[in-house]
Structures are given as structure tokens and as C-alpha cells.
Amino acid sequence: MTMANDDIYTPPRPRSGSERPFRERASGRASGRGPVIDQEGREVNDAGPRAQSEGFRFDFGPGGANPFGDLTREQRLARLDAIAKLLDVAFVVPGTNFRYGIDGLIGLIPVVGDIITTAISLWLVREARALGAPWHITARMLGNVAVDGVVGLVPVAGDAFDVMFRANVRNMRMLKRWLDKQPR
């Protein structure tokens, strides 16, 4: 089946007087008009937002302020260890030797807190993999994170389990043991 040329829709053509480019029409500048003036009487730069932001860029080079770039293996390991301790054993209950971390505190927020702490724990596992940890170490680390995350979803008992299980410290201990066996 073929279509007749009369059935094909063609948009109407603009009149010859309104064939200015879109940018000229949107900015209000035509060939015979002067500069655009704002309400305070200042001339407005007509370059548009794209031209104004072309010189703006992030510098993640060696001299930049990138906290994740160009770290040595020891520095990355120290950062992971600090985060694991913050999550699991950062604080002490006064008058006791009982330690807990922000994992237990954030976990008190139902569901969302456990998702947040599990995501941070998964980031630690990802960083361990980036350090070269083999699949069997990362699989055990993922198992610890999964147990911590799933049991942590139980309202009160899960929060107590989070404080006692300390999955991140366990994972760092496994990673350090594996790294100590590796040649430098």
C-alpha cells in the first residue's frame, strides 16, 4: 500500500520575516536591536549558560584535591581500616569496655539505616577487591556484609547483632591477613 503525497504531513514554513535563528529569537536580540539590559540597568551577557561554564572544570590530577586518587597501597589500607573502626568500634560505653560504632547507631533508623551501613560495607569490599584481594577473600567479606545487613533488618535484635558481629572489622582482619602473606 502506498501513500499519496497529499497524505504526508509537512509543517508550515515560516514567513520570510521570522526566519531568524532560534538563539536570536530566544534572547530577544535581533540584528537591529541593542544589548539586553536587566532590571537594574546592567548589560546582560548574551553568551548563555553553556559559554559561561566552558572554563569551569574539576581538577583531579596529582596536584588536585582528590581524596581517592594516587594513594599508595598502605594509605588505602589505612583509610579502609579507619572507616571499618569508625563503623564498628569507634565509641566506648562509659564505665565499661564495651565498644560500638556508627554502624549500630545508624542501624537504629529502620530499614534506611541498615541500607546505608550495608552500602558503606560494600564499598569497603569493593576497595579490597581493588587492592587485589582474590575472589575467595571477597566472597567471605561479602558473606559477612550480607549476614550483617540481613540480620540488621530485624528491629531490636538486629541492632544488637550489628554491634556484636562487627562485620567490617572482621573483613579488615581477613584482608590484612591475606596482604601479609603476599610478597611486596
Handedness of CA 155, 156, 160, 163 (dihedral sign): positive
Q: What is the pLDDT of residue 183?
A: 84
In the prediction, which pLDDT does 173 show? 96
Q: What is the pTM of this model?
A: 0.62
Average the pLDDT over 87-115 and give the result.
92
Which one is predicted more confidently, 10 or 173? 173
Phi, psi torsion values for 43, nearest 5 degrees: -75, 135
List all residues 6 or more positions away from 25 whose beta carbon is below 8 Å from its beta carbon: none
Averaged confidence pLDDT in the chain: 80
Q: What are phi and psi of 99, to 5 degrees?
A: -110, 145
Cβ atoms < 10 Å from Cβ of 104:
23
Model pLDDT, residue 42 = 76
d(CA 165, CA 155): 16
Taking alpha carbons only, the member of 174, 77, 177 closest to residue 127 is 77
For residues 153 and 173, what is the distance between their CA atoms, to the nearest angstrom? Answer: 24
Percent of the chain, pLDDT > 90?
A: 51
**Partners of residue 92 on adjacent β-strands:** 99
pLDDT in tens, 60-89: 555 555 555 678 889 999 999 999 999 999
| 18-22, 87-91, 129-133, 141-145: range with lowest mean pLDDT | 18-22
pLDDT digits (tens, 9 = 90+) for 145-162: 999 999 999 988 998 998
Look at residues 87, 175, 166, 165 and name the one whose alpha carbon lies nearest to residue 126: 175
* Residues 6 or more apart whose Cβ sits within 8 Å of residue 176: 77, 81
Residue 141: its pLDDT value, please? 97
Position 2 scores a pLDDT of 59
Q: Three-state SS for 100?
A: strand
pLDDT tens-place string over residues 16-66: 555 555 555 555 545 556 677 777 777 776 665 555 556 656 555 555 555
Kindly list the domain boundaries of the chain, sorted by start residue.
Answer: 73-181
